[in-house]
Amino acid sequence: MKAISVQQMKELDQRSIKEAKIPSFVLMERAGFACGEKIIEFIEDRIHLNHVKRFVIITGKGNNGGDAYVVARYLYENTDINIIIYSICDIEKFSPESQKHAGLIIEDVDYSIKKKITENDFSKGDIIIDGLLGTGISGSLKKPYDSWIKTVNSTFLTVISLDVPSGMDADNGTFKDDCIMADMTITIALPKRGLVENQGPEYCGRLRCVDIGIPQEYIDETESDFDIYFSSDAKKSLSRLPMKSYKNSLGSVLVIGGSKEYYGAPFLAALSAQRSGAGIVRVAVPESIEIIPDAALSLIVAKINDTGKGYFCMESLKDLKPLIDKSDIIILGPGIGTQRDTFLFVREILKTPKPVIIDADALNIIAESPEIYHRNDSNILTPHPGEMKRLLEAFELESFNDKTREEKATALAGCLDATIVFKGSRTIIASPDGQITVNSSGCPALATAGSGDSLTGIIAALNATAHEDYYHATAAAVFIHGMTGEISPFGNRGFIADDIQALIPEAMLRISPFA
C-alpha cells in the first residue's frame, strides 16, 4: 500500500469529493466506522472487552475530531461499554462535517468540554482514543494540546490514535514538543510516510489501515517512494489452492543448518516452513550433532557427513547434492557456525542456481569473505542491523551506514542483485530493481532468540511456489511473521520463538479464508 504525504491525502480527499461525488460527510463516516471496528478487534485480541471499563475519546476541532465522534457512535452501537467524550472546544468551532457527526451522538454518551484534563479524568480500565490532531500539525504544539498530550502519556493507559498520533508530523515521523505514545494507530485511507520514519514506529505502536472508498484510479495515479505492507497486501499471496494440489506442487524446502554448538535453529526454520504451507520440508544437519530436537514426524531429517567435526565441511557436499537437486528453495545458515571449513562449504552451496535464503552465520561468513558470494537474483538475504553493517562494509558500501534503513537495504539489494529483508521494528524489504516495502505488522513479542530463524522458514515456504515473484512473496512472509507476535496469547514478554509455528496458521487465516 502506497505511503503518502499529508498533501497527497488532502488531494485524494478533494478529488473523491469533487470528481467522484462522495460527500465529505460520508468519507468521515466510513473512516469512523472502520476505525471503530479495528478498535474492537484490537481489544478482543489484547485485553478482552470484559476488562474494558470505559472508552475515553479526546477530540480536537478538526476532521480528526469528527472521525472520533463517528467512532464514539460506532462503539456505542456495537458494545455495552460506557463512553465519555472530552472535547477541547465547543462543537460550534468544529468543521461543518464534524459538527454534523457530533450532532448524531446519542444522549447516553457522556460529553464534556474541557480546557484542561488531568490524570483524575481517567481511571483503571479506560481505553483512550486520540482524536485530537491527526495529520493537522507540522510544528510546535499550541495550548492546550500540549498539556492534553502530556497528561495522556502520563496515565499509562492503553491509547489508540486515529490516523496519526497527535503531535507527530505525519510526513516525517518527528515532533517538536511532545507526541501521543499510542499502542495502536489506525491510519485512514492510505498510510502516511511518518508512521514508519524516524520516531514514527516508536510512537505509533501497532499499525492498521482502513479503506474509506477512495477510487482506486486516483490511488494508482498517486506517486510514492515506498509501500507500507498491510493485511490486504498479504492476502494476494494467500489465494485459493487448487483442489488437485499435492505435496510436490506446494513446494519443497531444504534447510541446511545446525552445528554441535547450535542445533535448534534449523528446526525452528523447518517447522515454520511446514506450518506456512510447504509441501515437503527437509532439514539437513551435521551427523555428529548429539542432540536432535523433537520435531514433527512429517519433517524429513537428513544427517550429513561431517567427518566427526560437528559442523558442515567440504565432505558434506556429496550427501547434500541430491537433496539440493530435488528442492525448490534452500535455507542456508541457521546455526551452522563460522568454522574455517564452513566458509568453503558455503561458497559451494551458493553456486546452486536454486533460490537460496541466506541467514544467520551464512551472512557472517559472506561478510568476512565477500569473494565467495555468488550473485543470483533469486537469492534472499535476511540481515539484522549488526549483520547489515558488516555486509555493507564487506561490499564497500560503508558510506551507507550513515543512511536510512531504507537506503541501506536498497544499496545492498542493488549491489548483490538479491532481495534484502532488513530485520527490525518495521522490517524493510528491498528488491534488486529498487522497490521498497516497509512491513506494518509486529510487536516487541518478536524480540526473542530464534524469531529470525522462524521468519526464514516462512519466507522459504511462500517462495517455494512464488514463480519468481520473490519480492512480494517475501513481503507477505514478513507480514505473517509479524502477525504471530500480535496474536500471541502469551503477551509481549512470555512469547518465545517456539510459539511461532503454532500461530502461523491462525495468522494466515486472519489474512485470507483460503489460507
pLDDT of residue 59: 95
Contact 381, 459 (CB under 8 A): no
pLDDT of residue 501: 97
Contact 329, 300 (CB under 8 A): no
Share of the chain above pLDDT 90, in %: 90
Instruction: Please report, for the chain, how many H helices and E strands are present, in that order.
Output: 17, 17
Average pLDDT over residues 430-448: 97
Q: Kindly compute the dihedral angle of the four CA atoms of residues 353, 359, 360, 362, in this order, to the nearest 10 degrees.
A: 10
Q: How far apart are CA 393 and CA 414, in angstroms?
A: 15
Residues in the chain: 515
pLDDT band at 363 (very low <50, low <70, confident <90, very high): very high
Tens-place pLDDT, residues 239-286: 999 999 999 999 999 999 999 999 999 999 999 999 999 999 999 999
Q: How far apart are CA 146 and CA 131, in angstroms?
A: 14
pLDDT of residue 61: 87
Tens-place pLDDT, residues 38-54: 999 999 888 877 789 99
Average pLDDT over residues 325-336: 98
Q: Kindly compute the dihedral angle of the four CA atoms of residues 92, 96, 99, 104, in this order, to the nearest 10 degrees.
A: 150
Residue 304 above 80 pLDDT?
A: yes
Give the contacts of 418 (CB within 8 A, at least 6 positions apart): 375, 376, 377, 379, 380, 381, 412, 432
Cell of 400: 551507507
Tens-place pLDDT, residues 335-361: 999 999 999 999 999 999 999 999 999
The count of other CB atoms within 10 Å of the CB of residue 157 is 17
Closest CA to 275 of 474, 45, 498: 498
Q: What angle do CA 468, 246, 380 make, to 5 degrees?
A: 25
Q: How far apart are CA 385 and CA 220, in angstroms?
A: 33
Tens-place pLDDT, residues 389-404: 999 999 999 999 999 9
Average pLDDT over residues 200-219: 97
Contact 130, 165 (CB under 8 A): yes
Q: Phi then psi for 128, rounded to 5 degrees?
A: -90, 130
Q: How far apart are CA 89 and CA 20, in angstroms?
A: 33
Tens-place pLDDT, residues 45-89: 888 777 899 999 999 988 999 999 999 999 999 999 999 999 998
Tens-place pLDDT, residues 130-179: 999 999 888 899 999 999 999 999 999 999 999 999 999 999 999 998 99
Cell of 505: 496458521
Tens-place pLDDT, residues 15-41: 999 999 999 999 999 999 999 999 999
Average pLDDT over residues 471-494: 97
Q: How far apart are CA 322 and CA 212, in angstroms?
A: 52
Q: How far apart are CA 59 and CA 111, in angstroms?
A: 11
What structural domains and CATH numbers belong to the chain?
11-224 (3.40.50.10260), 236-511 (3.40.1190.20)
Tens-place pLDDT, residues 108-132: 889 999 989 999 999 999 999 999 9
Average pLDDT over residues 415-441: 97
